[in-house]
Amino acid sequence: AHCSWENRKEVQEIWHSVWGSQFAGRRVAVAKAVFQDLFNRDPDAKALFTRVNVDDMDSPEFEAHCLRVTNGLDTVIGLLDDATVLNEQLGHLHTQHEQREGVTAEHFAIFARSMAGALDQVAPCFNHRAWDDCFQVISDGIAHD
C-alpha cells in the first residue's frame, strides 16, 4: 500500500473533521452502525464479540467496546506520520487481536469499507483511494492470518 504524505494528510483531515466535529456527540451511534454494517456483510463475524455482549448492541459493554475500537483508530490515524510510534502502537494492537481466535485480514477489509461508508455520508469528496491506501497500512499492522 502506498500511504503517501498527501494521502496521510487527506485521511487525517477527513477523519479529524468528521470524527472530531460532525460525529461528535454521536460517535457511539456511528461506531455501532459501522459494526452493524460489518455484521450485515459478514454475519459470522458477530460471534467474535460475544464477550462484549454483541447480542445487545445498545448495552454498555458493547458501547464501551465500540469506543475502544474507534479511539484506537483515532490514535493510529493521528500517528500515520510518526512511523516509529505508529509501528509500536500497531504492534500492541496486533498482540491484542492475536489473542482473539478467528479475526482475519478480511474482517479488517470489511471494517474499512463499512467505516468508509459512514465517512462518505458526511464528508464531501471523501477520497476512498487515500482511505484504502492508508487503512491498508493499519490493517497490515494489526491483522494476523
Q: Interface mask (CB under 6 A) for ligand HEM, residues 101-140, using x and -?
A: --x---xx--x--------------------------x--
Torsion, Cα 7 134 1 49, to 10 degrees, reads: -170
Cell (9 digits) for 40:
450485515
Q: Taking CB under 6 A as the rule, does residue 51 contact ligand HEM? A: yes
Cell (9 digits) for 39:
455484521
Nearer to ligand HEM, 51 or 124 (CB): 51
Q: Taking CB under 6 A as the rule, does residue 96 contact ligand HEM? A: yes
Q: Taking CB under 6 A as the rule, does residue 72 contact ligand HEM? A: yes
CA–CA dist 19, 21 (Å, integer): 6
Nearer to ligand HEM, 99 or 124 (CB): 99
Q: Taking CB under 6 A as the rule, does residue 62 contact ligand HEM? A: no
Q: Which stretch binds ligand HEM (CB under 6 A): 7-15, 23-31, 45-53, 122-130?
A: 45-53
The DSSP annotation for 92-127 comes to HHHHHHHTSTT--HHHHHHHHHHHHHHHHHHSTT--
Applying CB under 6 A, among 69, 94, 117, 136 the residue interacting with ligand HEM is 69
CA–CA dist 72, 95 (Å, integer): 14
**Cβ-based burial of 62 (10 A; exposed 0-12, middle 13-18, buried ≥19):** buried
Q: Taking CB under 6 A as the rule, does residue 86 contact ligand HEM? A: no
Q: Which residues bind ligand HEM (CB under 6 A)?
A: 45, 48-49, 51-52, 65, 68-69, 72-73, 93, 96-97, 100, 103, 107-108, 111, 138, 142
